């Protein structure tokens, strides 16, 4: 019997699996990737009796894999908050799926584990930009404001590390980062204890990349309610695009944001954020384009041809016209 742990390579995926490993330490085959690499079950082969855990990737994008693994006799435990569509019914499948906009996978795992590693759930929720949810559940921790902000920073940095076109863009491969992080029952041991050099590497990378992004201005076609930014084809831009989008949303809560990163060949990688005060429509907009997907508040398009930039700009500004 083999454990196979499949997780999104962002803060939420890493913090969800960290909680599960702390609760039940195990040797597992890890399957992950950059944050946008969500069709992860394509890579998974399993045999009868194997236990496959899948975290923080849309079941809709992995349904064929789930069905195939179940047919092979594996047991599948699936926890997620993205669009799921129809959930297969089978004895071998256990799901915890909740698409509510104030929930993330780390919070769902925290509920499953009855708050055993609550601080890690707080980090995961901050990482998914669910500040209110994170602060609400953090009331169950005996920590002060300064410590809460450290958990927020860690969530932000882990999330930041997941963005890139390929693992080569990232400071840490997500499976490596999971191994470094999940040794610690408390996130503070990673932040200021034995893991502090890794925390510092994330912090330094984040500050440097965000400094470059902060110099960018909205491009032509942007409106008062919907702003577009275009970042160059460079590793720093691919790393920072997602967190920069979150940062813009927090700075301008009434405005929708699209951050486009140029790719080789003239295509764009896009992060869309609905206005913080009206978390709607980002997934709907992105799913109208090939390679688009996500959640109502935060969605993206992996590969938009330059020829569709005008159409995307038109639909984005129409979606958020008021
Ligand atoms: Mn998530």
Dist. CA 314 → ligand 1 center (Å): 28
Is the confidence at residue 264, as pLDDT, over 90? Answer: no
Is the confidence at residue 20, as pLDDT, over 90? Answer: yes
d(CA 170, CA 205): 10
SS3 readout for 211-233: HHHCCCCCCCCCCCCEEEEEECC
H or E element that contains 175: helix 174-181
d(CA 241, CA 246): 9
Percent of the chain with pLDDT over 70: 100
Dist. CA 227 → ligand 1 center (Å): 24
Dist. CA 253 → ligand 1 center (Å): 20
Q: Domains of the chain, with CATH numbers?
A: 3-205 (3.90.1640), 226-319 (3.10.310.30)
Dist. CA 316 → ligand 1 center (Å): 23
pLDDT for 236? 95
Dist. CA 161 → ligand 1 center (Å): 14
Q: Averaged over 175-185, what is the pLDDT?
A: 98
Dist. CA 89 → ligand 1 center (Å): 23
Instruction: Kindly report, residue by residue over 133-144, the tens digit of the pLDDT.
Output: 999 999 999 999
Q: pTM of the full predicted structure?
A: 0.86
pLDDT for 165? 83
Dist. CA 105 → ligand 1 center (Å): 5
Dist. CA 91 → ligand 1 center (Å): 26
The confidence band for 91, taking pLDDT boundaries of 50, 70 and 90, is very high
Dist. CA 276 → ligand 1 center (Å): 16
Is the confidence at residue 69, as pLDDT, over 90? Answer: yes
Dist. CA 128 → ligand 1 center (Å): 6
d(CA 299, CA 286): 7
Dist. CA 280 → ligand 1 center (Å): 16
pLDDT for 33? 97
Dist. CA 56 → ligand 1 center (Å): 5
Dist. CA 259 → ligand 1 center (Å): 19
pLDDT for 36? 86
pLDDT for 242? 80
Instruction: Kindly report, residue by residue over 95-142, the tens digit of the pLDDT.
Output: 999 999 999 999 999 999 999 999 999 999 999 989 999 999 999 999
Dist. CA 220 → ligand 1 center (Å): 31
The confidence band for 322, taking pLDDT boundaries of 50, 70 and 90, is confident
Query: 114 with 181: CB under 8 angstroms?
Result: no
Dist. CA 307 → ligand 1 center (Å): 31
Q: Averaged over 6-28, what is the pLDDT?
A: 98
Dist. CA 12 → ligand 1 center (Å): 5
Q: How far apart are the first and last CA of the chain?
A: 54
pLDDT for 241? 83
Dist. CA 238 → ligand 1 center (Å): 19
The confidence band for 24, taking pLDDT boundaries of 50, 70 and 90, is very high
Strands 51-55 and 75-80: parallel
Rg (CA), the chain: 19
Average pLDDT, the chain: 96
Strands 298-304 and 292-294: antiparallel
User: How would you class 161 by CB atoms within 10 Å of its CB: exposed for 0-12, middle for 13-18, buried for 19 or more?
Assistant: buried
3-state secondary structure at position 170 = coil
Lowest average pLDDT, out of 102-106, 124-128, 246-250, 291-295, goes to: 246-250
Q: Averaged over 63-71, what is the pLDDT?
A: 98
Strands 268-273 and 256-262: antiparallel
Instruction: Kindly report, residue by residue over 139-165, the tens digit of the pLDDT.
Output: 999 999 999 999 999 999 999 999 988
pLDDT for 5? 98
The confidence band for 193, taking pLDDT boundaries of 50, 70 and 90, is very high
pLDDT for 203? 98
Query: 47 with 74: CB under 8 angstroms?
Result: yes
The confidence band for 300, taking pLDDT boundaries of 50, 70 and 90, is very high
Dist. CA 185 → ligand 1 center (Å): 21
């Amino acid at each position: 019997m083999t454990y196979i742990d499949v997780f999104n390579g962002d803060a939420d995926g890493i913090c969800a699996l960290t909680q599960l490993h702390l609760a039940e330490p195990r040797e597992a085959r890890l399957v992950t990737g950059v944050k946008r690499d969500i069709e992860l079950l394509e890579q998974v082969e399993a045999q009868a009796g194997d236990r496959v855990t899948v975290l923080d990737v849309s079941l809709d994008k992995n349904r064929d894999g789930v069905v195939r693994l179940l047919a092979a006799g594996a047991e599948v435990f699936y926890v997620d908050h993205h669009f799921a569509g129809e959930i297969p019914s089978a004895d071998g499948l256990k799901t915890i799926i909740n698409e509510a906009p104030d929930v993330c996978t780390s919070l769902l795992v925290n509920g499953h584990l009855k708050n055993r590693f609550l601080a890690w759930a707080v980090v995961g929720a901050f990482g998914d930009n669910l500040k209110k949810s994170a602060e609400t559940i953090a009331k169950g921790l005996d920590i002060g404001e300064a410590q809460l902000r450290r958990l927020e920073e860690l969530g932000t940095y882990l999330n930041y590390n997941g963005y890139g076109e390929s693992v080569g863009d990232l400071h840490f491969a997500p499976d490596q980062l999971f191994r470094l992080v999940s040794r610690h029952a408390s996130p503070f041991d990673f932040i200021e204890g034995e893991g502090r050099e890794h925390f510092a590497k994330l912090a330094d990378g984040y500050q440097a990349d965000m400094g470059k992004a902060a110099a960018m201005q909205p491009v032509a076609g942007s409106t008062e309610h919907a702003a577009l930014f275009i970042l160059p084809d460079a590793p720093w831009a691919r790393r920072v695009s997602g967190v920069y989008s979150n940062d813009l949303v927090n700075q301008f809560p009434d405005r929708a944001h699209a951050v486009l990163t140029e790719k080789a060949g003239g295509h764009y990688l896009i992060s869309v954020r609905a206005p913080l005060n009206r978390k709607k429509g980002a997934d709907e907009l992105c799913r109208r384009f090939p390679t688009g997907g996500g959640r109502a508040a935060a969605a993206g398009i992996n590969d938009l041809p330059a020829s569709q930039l005008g159409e995307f700009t038109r639909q984005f500004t129409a979606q958020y016209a008021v």
